[in-house]
Amino acid sequence: MSLPSDFIVGCIIVGLLLIAMTLAGSFIARLPLSAAMLYLGVGVAIGPLGLGLLKLDALRNVALLERVTEVAVLISLFTAGIKLELPLTNRRWRIPVQLATLSMLVTV
């Protein structure tokens, strides 16, 4: 049996991290850190600068990294929108919607 590729190992690690963060959600909510800060810290710890479990060459995997960052921006915008406690008919939505539309058109 052959060893799994680095991509499969990376997918397994990311999947396990997502499951762990979901299961520990109530504990994480009590910490003075955001989930994004924890993801960043774990990423550094398991990446090439830490344990070296994820071996991702940024120059060879530009397309993959570009897609991952686009998804991260979309999730961040969606999460920020969910946390706003305003009805959609409120006029204060206009400026954030315009900014989000402009930023998405420029960056994606």
pLDDT score for 108: 66
pLDDT at 1: 53
Asked if residue 67 and residue 87 are part of one domain, the reply reads: yes
Are 49 and 62 contained in the same domain? no
**pLDDT at residue number 15:** 85
Sign of the Cα pseudo-torsion (79, 84, 90, 94, in order): negative
The answer to whether residues 102 and 65 belong to one domain is yes
pTM: 0.52
The stretch 75-86 carries a mean pLDDT of 76
- Are 75 and 93 part of one and the same domain? yes
Domain enclosing residue 108, as ranges: 58-108
Residues 6+ apart with CB under 8 A from 88: none
Provide, rounded to the nearest whole percent, the portion of the chain with pLDDT above 70.
94
What is the mean predicted confidence (pLDDT) over 6-19?
A: 79
**Percent of the chain at pLDDT exceeding 90:** 0
28 with 65, same domain?
A: no
